[in-house]
Structure 1
Amino acid sequence: MSGAEKKELVEEAKTAGKQFIQDHYDTEFICTDYEIVDPSVQSTIYLNGYVTGHEKEKITVVYSYHTHQVRTVIGPDWFIESEKDKQ
């Protein structure tokens, strides 16, 4: 995978992750770094960051670049339990 392809995938993942957090948790996700898993292992990008107002709490958005969808969100219980669809 070329550098340009990686950059494009990361931007796609960031956009999808931010929108997912906004839609499901009604807050803004700030991505601070990421990890791309090799496609021969798993087509996943881990977006690490935080949500506005909770800069010290780590939130990870797990994005599949094969299906172009957010798989899940990992974070503190209080945040995960605040998902709008679960209330």
Structure 2
Amino acid sequence: MKNIFKKIQYISTLLIILAFIVGGCNTFPNQDQVVEKATQVGYQYFIDHYNTEVNFTDHKFMPKDLSHNVNLSGHVKDNQEVSISILIDYDTFEVQTAVVPKELLDKKIK
């Protein structure tokens, strides 16, 4: 009887460890497609709202348990000194928020 409990405990521990490993390695199977679509949405957002072309140079997915957002960061196309960032929901591809410097805020299309 004692051996059965030890085996159950051993198997349970292995299953828990396996669940953490698999859960921690869970990535988006279509991550490149999500980034590509989000980049198009973000680019169009800056055209529509600030009449400004941008280049996105980096992306970061937020933890799935917190939000379903991808953050794109980069700069204004003709000025690498002017940094921009945009947060896009990758389920709906709606812009959540954009971080822009004051010089772009002044150009905002109302």
Q: Shorter-chain TM-score: what band? A: 0.7 to 0.9
Q: Residue in 1 aligned with 2:51? A: 26
Whole-angstrom CA distance in 1 between matches of 2:83 and 2:49: 17
Among all aligned residue pairs of Structure 1 and Structure 2, give the percentage whose two residues are the same amino acid.
25
Give ranges in structure 2 of 5+ residues lacking alignment. 1-25
Q: Unpaired segments of 5 or more residues in structure 1?
A: none
State the alpha-carbon separation in 1 of the partners of residues 28 and 68 from structure 2: 16
CA distance in 1, matches of 2:67, 2:27: 17
Do the aligned residues in 2 keep the contact of 1:73 with 1:80 (CA within 8 Å)? no
1:82 aligns to 2:96 (yes or no): no
- Bigger fraction of residues in helix: 2
Tell which has more relative contact order, 1 or 2 (C-alpha 8 A, sep 6+). 1
Q: What TM-score does the superposition give when structure 2 sets the normalisation length?
A: 0.69
User: Which structure features the higher share of strand residues?
Assistant: 1
Q: Distance in 2 between matches of 1:52 and 1:64?
A: 23
Shift in Å at residue 36 of structure 1?
A: 0.7
Paired residues in the alignment total 85
